[in-house]
């Protein structure tokens, strides 16, 4: 399972297609939050988001053999989930129109801008990269980027991490460098 | 690493970590999806053309609650909207009558729910009551290519009943007897 965690999307898809244990679970681990968050972003309630999640997973499972490009999986998931979320959002609106007989007075929902959805994918990549850092670096990065850290002095930050203050700078540089390399490898773009 | 020079990158990471938009699904949702692998086998690649007859799921001319099987009432003068589903493709039609009283324009969108990008597709409206030849193409009243977004437009159709054929990749979806 630990090896699968480091596997590329393309390798993970191959593992799934061969029916090897753990592949599908790892794929879900990697993309569950992204899939579930898109219908929520469309304003759907949690029940509908759960249905979209299941529907996207069924489609993904059925089409595993057609997704080949190593960088294509996230884009496929975003497009599929976005379209299915939109279809549910439109259906809900029509049901409302039909049951009340009145126009809700708001425009028919449309696909969300691609950049908004890619923002979710950027968040997923960053979180996954932070998870892959060494425990010390992960702790430091999380501390550095938390809102609380903005209020702290270097001494307080060093005390919280249990390191001498004069090693904080070099450690931070090394950890940021490590994070940046992981992000570049994962295809992270601004 | 110079933090000043890399400020944009750092800010991007900070924004991504502080954003609360990424939500993990509840455990039961994830478990339900995990169990898929025990109950479904992946399908083989699709190579043949798949023909699907779409069903009407929404007609804005049917105001309020209607009983199943009840046909729409009188055709309205204003624009109306129809939604069909054929397999995993939603097809939206917005019908707008022209001033001349006997022709209309149709704008629509085919939305594959399975996420594929539409790199080739077309839409044809064929008179529903005219027999189609067994071989060769039928005479279409209007035809449109699909945009990459799935959008299409059929202009200046005479009012009447049409079979609308939507071709998306290897699928052909037929909307039978669409009353326009």
* Predicted ipTM beyond 0.90: no
Q: Considering the domain boundaries, does residue A126 fall inside one?
A: no
Place of tokens 């001494």: A155
pLDDT at B65: 46
Q: How far is CA A88 from CA A48, A77, A136, B113, in A?
A: 8, 16, 44, 11
List pLDDT tens digits, range B157-169: 999 999 999 988 7
CB pair distance less than 8 Å for B14 and A99: no
Q: Which of A88, A65, A67 is nearest to A76 (CA)?
A: A67
Q: Considering the domain boundaries, does residue A55 fall inside one?
A: yes
Place of tokens 């497009």: A79
pLDDT of B67 strictly over 50: no
Question: What integer is the mean pLDDT of B56-78?
Answer: 60
Which of helix, strand or coil describes residue B95? strand
pLDDT at A96: 77
Say yes or no: A15 and A91 in one domain: yes
Tokens of A181: 């390399």
Domain positions in chain B are 7-39, 50-179
Q: Of the candidates B16, B83, B114, which has its C-beta nearest A63's C-beta?
A: B114
Least confident of A143-147, B32-36, B46-50, B90-94: B46-50
Q: Which of B43, B81, B90 is nearest to B61 (CA)?
A: B81
Please list the alpha-helical segments (H only) found in chain A: 2-6, 9-17, 23-41, 46-62, 72-100, 114-132, 135-145, 154-161, 168-185
pLDDT at B117: 67
Chain A contact present for B69, CB below 8 A: no
Q: Considering the domain boundaries, does residue A118 fall inside one?
A: no
List pLDDT tens digits, range B122-166: 999 998 877 776 666 677 788 999 887 788 999 999 999 999 999
According to DSSP, residue B47 is labeled -
Number of domain units in chain A: 2
Say yes or no: A75 and A160 in one domain: no
**A residues 155-184 near B, CB within 8 Å?**
173, 176-177, 179-180, 183
Say yes or no: A141 and A178 in one domain: yes
Place of tokens 């996420």: B115
Neighbours of B15 (CB within 10 A): 15
Say yes or no: A106 and A140 in one domain: no
Place of tokens 């993970």: A12
Q: Which residues pair with B112 in a beta bridge?
A: B89
The dihedrals phi and psi of B51, each to the nearest 5 degrees, come to -105, 130
**B residues 91-150 near A, CB within 8 Å?**
111-117
pLDDT at A95: 80
pLDDT at B140: 79
Which of chain B's residues have a Cβ under 8 Å away from the Cβ of A34?
A: 22
Q: Considering the domain boundaries, does residue A121 fall inside one?
A: no
Residue of A nearest to B19 (CA): A123
Instruction: Write out the residue range of the structural domain in which residue A18 sits.
Output: 2-111
pLDDT at B46: 47
Say yes or no: A35 and A106 in one domain: yes
**H/E element, A59:** helix A46-62
According to DSSP, residue B155 is labeled E
Query: Residue A67 sits in a domain of what CATH number?
Result: 1.10.1740.10
Residue of B nearest to A101 (CA): B64
Q: How confident is the model at residue B25 (pLDDT cuts 50, 70, 90)?
A: very high
List pLDDT tens digits, range A48-100: 999 999 999 988 988 888 876 656 888 889 999 999 999 999 888 888 777 77
Say yes or no: A86 and A147 in one domain: no
Chain A contact present for B74, CB below 8 A: no
Q: Of the candidates B21, B64, B65, which has its C-beta nearest A123's C-beta?
A: B21
Neighbours of B71 (CB within 10 A): 9
Give me chain B's average pLDDT, please.
Answer: 78
Say yes or no: A105 and A147 in one domain: no
Say yes or no: A63 and A32 in one domain: yes
Q: Considering the domain boundaries, does residue A119 fall inside one?
A: no
Q: What percent of chain B has pLDDT over 90?
A: 21
Tokens of A45: 């309630």
List pLDDT tens digits, range B95-107: 999 988 889 999 9
């Amino acid at each position: 399972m630990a090896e699968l965690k480091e596997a590329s999307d393309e390798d993970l898809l191959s593992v799934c297609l061969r029916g090897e244990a753990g592949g599908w679970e790892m794929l879900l681990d990697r993309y569950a939050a992204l899939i579930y968050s898109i219908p929520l972003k469309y304003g759907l309630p949690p029940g509908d988001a759960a249905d979209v999640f299941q529907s996207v997973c069924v489609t993904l499972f059925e089409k595993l053999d057609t997704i080949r490009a190593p960088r294509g999986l996230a884009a496929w998931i975003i497009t599929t989930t976005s379209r299915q979320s939109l279809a549910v959002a439109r259906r809900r609106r029509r049901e409302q129109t039909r049951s009340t007989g009145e126009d809700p007075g708001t425009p028919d929902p449309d696909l969300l801008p691609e950049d908004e959805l890619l923002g979710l994918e950027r968040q997923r990549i960053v979180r996954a990269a932070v998870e892959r850092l060494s425990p010390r670096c992960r702790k430091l990065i999380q501390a550095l980027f938390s809102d609380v850290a903005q209020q702290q002095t270097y001494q307080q930050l060093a005390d919280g991490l249990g390191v001498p203050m004069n090693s904080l700078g070099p450690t931070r540089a090394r950890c940021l460098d490590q994070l940046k390399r992981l992000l570049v490898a994962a295809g992270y773009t601004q | 690493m110079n933090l000043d020079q890399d400020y944009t990158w750092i800010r991007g990471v900070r924004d991504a970590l502080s954003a609360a938009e990424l939500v993990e699904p509840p455990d039961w949702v994830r478990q339900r999806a995990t169990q898929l692998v025990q109950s479904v086998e992946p399908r083989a690649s699709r190579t043949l053309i798949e023909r699907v007859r779409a069903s009407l799921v929404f007609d804005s001319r049917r105001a309020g609650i209607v009983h199943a099987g009840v046909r729409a009432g009188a055709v309205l003068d204003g624009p109306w909207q129809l939604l069909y589903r054929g397999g995993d493709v939603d097809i939206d039609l917005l019908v707008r009558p022209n001033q001349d009283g006997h022709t209309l324009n149709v704008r629509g969108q085919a939305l594959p729910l399975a996420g594929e990008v539409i790199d080739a597709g077309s839409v044809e409206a064929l008179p529903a009551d005219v027999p189609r030849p067994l071989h060769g193409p039928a005479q279409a009243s209007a035809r449109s290519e699909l945009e990459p977004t799935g959008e299409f437009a059929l202009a200046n159709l005479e009012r009447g009943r049409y079979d609308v054929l939507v071709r998306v990749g290897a699928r052909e979806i037929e909307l039978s007897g669409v009353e326009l």
